[in-house]
Amino acid sequence: MTHYQFLEPLTFKNGLILKNRIVMSPMTTMTSFYNGMVTSDEIHYYQTRAAGPGLVITGVANVSASGKGFEGELSVASDDMIPGLTQLAQAIHQNGTKAILQIFHAGRKTNQQILRGTQPVSASAIAASYPADSETPRALSVEEIQSIIADFAAATQRAITAGFDGVELHGANTYLLQQFFSENSNQRTDAWGGSFEKRLHFPLAVINAVHQAIENATSRPFALGYRISPEEIETPGIRLADSLAFVDQIKTKVDYIHLSMGSYQRTSLNDQTNNQTLLSQFAAHTKGVVPLIGIGAVTTPTDAQAVLADGAELVALGRELLREPQWVQKVTAGDLGAIRTQMSPLDMDELAIPSVMQTYLRTSFYQVMNFTDDSTNQVNYQNTLAPMEGFEKKL
């Protein structure tokens, strides 16, 4: 039988051991209760997909009420959430699979309807350029910035209490961490904006606060990951060189770095003369320092091997694990012919995909799901932004 490197274990520098290098990427189910509490449909969805991957990263959870980005999103903003999150961590902890809670503040990527009448907040009072009807946020005061940083730390403490093995800071897909780093959304003139260093201030302060929370709350290995989107396409906006410099700043402070891309073969969206994969360019900065999670349209073991060969230490699968929850088990058994790479809309109940998520996949994400009833509209994400990277269609 073929030997796959991605089936080998990996140990993070903090001592956390993953039984293999396959990661389930964070995918919101849109199925939490109105206040962000975990539902039994979600538990069932994660139970169905755990056991195979070395690591499952949950869909994103907001750390503050003002940071809710969409309906049905998980929350870790109050202690009430801990019992449900404990069940979620337990559901993932099957057969040695580790569980990481992804946490964020949506910043300007939300609206007053979702925030029940409250204006969205961000680094500066600048609306996102997409969607066209994006609301203009209110610029955060320094006290409010400090309070959101404390919310990230409190969320981490709750994740520890709930039994997770780590948190991932969602610094990608144009949410608040990215909004502070990007000149597009951060035009502050105080200590939290302006130069490259000042735009780094918020992400670094969040990383430090989360570290402190981990140190105070537990002695077991608890990972801190950071997800980034390599580029923005707006001007001004984040360019590849900015992201590589950002990675250089954080790579010794986190346990892994996770790229957000719709194709592992993606090259620069802004610089057509740069023909190297983004993955290999990030790997050149992370190799030997911190594990890198590569991602994007991985469906076959050959794809997963290619991601490692291009420099990543871990491979994340998103949509493929929706279609094929037993991916790792089938690869391990050598039963490659049984791996589904397409999904019938009629199979989604059987695949434990919650009804709201089914609607979401059938609408906003229809063209990228490889549904069997869609033979014409497949989008190749090689040279475009990924699902959820800031340009998804509104429901």
Ligand X SMILES: Cc1cc2nc3c(=O)[nH]c(=O)nc-3n(C[C@H](O)[C@H](O)[C@H](O)COP(=O)(O)O)c2cc1C
**Interface with ligand X (CB under 6 A):** 25-28, 59-60, 102, 170, 172-173, 227, 260, 262, 295-298, 317-320, 365, 386-388
Q: How far is the CB of 209 from ligand X (least distance, A)?
A: 20
The nearer residue to ligand X, 123 or 385, going by C-beta atoms, is 385
Q: Where are the extended beta strands (E) located within the chain?
A: 10-11, 17-18, 22-24, 55-57, 61-62, 74-75, 98-104, 121-122, 138-139, 166-171, 223-228, 256-259, 292-295, 314-317
The nearer residue to ligand X, 84 or 296, going by C-beta atoms, is 296
The nearer residue to ligand X, 134 or 384, going by C-beta atoms, is 384
* Token pair listed for 366: 């229809």
DSSP assignment letter at 99 = E
Q: How far is the CB of 6 from ligand X (least distance, A)?
A: 14
Residues 6+ apart with CB under 8 A from 224: 166, 167, 168, 169, 207, 210, 211, 214, 253, 254, 255
Contact 200, 238 (CB under 8 A): no
Question: 138 pairs with which residues across the strands?
Answer: 121
Q: How far is the CB of 173 from ligand X (least distance, A)?
A: 6
Other beta carbons less than 10 A from residue 91's beta carbon: 22
Known catalytic residue at 256:
no
Question: 305 pairs with which residues across the strands?
Answer: none
Question: 171 pairs with which residues across the strands?
Answer: 228
For residue 257, the SS3 value is strand
Q: How far is the CB of 28 from ligand X (least distance, A)?
A: 4
The torsion angles phi and psi of 156, rounded to 5 degrees, stand at -65, -45
Q: How far is the CB of 76 from ligand X (least distance, A)?
A: 13
Q: How far is the CB of 322 from ligand X (least distance, A)?
A: 7
Closest CA to 101 of 16, 20, 165: 165
The nearer residue to ligand X, 201 or 227, going by C-beta atoms, is 227
* Token pair listed for 67: 């940071």
The nearer residue to ligand X, 365 or 371, going by C-beta atoms, is 365
The nearer residue to ligand X, 294 or 311, going by C-beta atoms, is 294
Other beta carbons less than 10 A from residue 292's beta carbon: 23
The nearer residue to ligand X, 91 or 139, going by C-beta atoms, is 91
Which segments of 251-354 does DSSP mark as H helices, in order?
278-286, 301-309, 319-323, 327-332
Catalytic, out of 175, 256, 264, 381: 175
Q: How far is the CB of 8 from ligand X (least distance, A)?
A: 20
**Residue nearest ligand X by beta-carbon distance:** 318
**Which residues belong to the active site?**
175
